[in-house]
Amino acid sequence: MIIQLEPKISEQAKAKLLEKINETGFKTTEVRTQFRHCLVGTGSKEFDIRTLGNLPGVADIHRVSDPFKLVSRKWRVEDTLIDLGDGVTLCRGDLAMMAGPCSIESEEQVFSTINHLKANGLRIMRGGVFKPRSSPYSFRGMGLDGLKMWSALAREHGIKIISEVMHTEQIEAMYPYVDIFQVGARNAQNFNLLDALGGVDKPVMLKRGMSGTIEELLQAAEYVFSNGNEKIILCERGIRTYETASRNTFDINAIPILKDKSHLPVVADPSHGIGIRSYVAAVALAAVMAGADGVIVEVHESPEKAASDGAQTLDFEEAGRLYGRMRAAVALRDA
């Protein structure tokens, strides 16, 4: 149950409302986001929600039986639009393509990637400066200095930045330099990180866990939303299965299911989803056709020289061709 409150609800009216809800046996969480003030009620008793809907201070009330509430399409039918400023948006019908290297490596690399993006009319660059690594002995990224360098160049050229945040302590430091915070698959259920990102007013892209369920992804989004941040993007990046012919099994089913269950935009990550360069384009096109609102792709001027994951990274020419094809696919899909 979601109870939308009027902006100027009096303390008295709120107390009265909470008292009424209390009688129904529902527990409530008060949520204040960039755009709204509401109460989320969880419980299982049946009652006539109109008895609450008529109380002073209540703007609207919705039944939402899903285990996730605020991110559900059951109460918000229209698609959520993510506005990154300067005319860059992520939403249905306007395919956002985020491209860039696995890791930020050097100024030259950033510069050539930005040029590639601009040549293809793209506005969002991906790249890691804090890299989650299975082994403690692997390169863990250029860190904050790398991010500052990248950000300076990107701003100069009107490019927005998405980069992974691994830890609550990084949020404040990264804040001035990123446009979208990315939460990686390994932190998909790092609830403290999700809570903290709820306190930020920049968009957050949540990757599905290595073997996370679709419901768990939506509940992770609920963490961010209920802590105050509505700007959430969902990302399908493949799940772990027994199949070894590909790095992960890209769950194409997740695309239409997420689009149906939630009002949030859905992005596909075909690079990790299949993990083999020559097949990335096929998966990207499939994801778009199935309904993805955006795609995040690993691109590098010379994939064979990339600091990491070159095996799944497209070169500029391959990426350029793919962008064109994806745009055509969106046009066909939404016709």
How, if at all, do strands 204-207 and 232-236 pair? parallel
Using the minimum distance from each CB to a second copy, give the nearer residue, 117 or 222. Answer: 222
Do 245 and 274 meet the contact criterion of CB atoms below 8 Å apart? no
Using the minimum distance from each CB to a second copy, give the nearer residue, 82 or 285. Answer: 285
Distance CA(287)–CA(236), nearest Å, equals 9
Do 190 and 179 meet the contact criterion of CB atoms below 8 Å apart? no
How, if at all, do strands 124-126 and 96-100 pair? parallel
Using the minimum distance from each CB to a second copy, give the nearer residue, 84 or 257. Answer: 257
Distance in Å, CB of 335 to a second copy, minimum: 8
Token pair, residue 292, equals 């993805």
User: How long a stretch of residues is the chain?
Assistant: 335
Give the DSSP H/E element, type plus range, for residue 41: strand 37-42
Using the minimum distance from each CB to a second copy, give the nearer residue, 159 or 303. Answer: 303
Using the minimum distance from each CB to a second copy, give the nearer residue, 20 or 140. Answer: 140
Token pair, residue 313, equals 């990274």
Distance in Å, CB of 214 to a second copy, minimum: 4
Q: Give the list of residues 6+ apart from residue 184 with CB closer than 8 angstroms, or none.
A: 132, 164, 166, 207
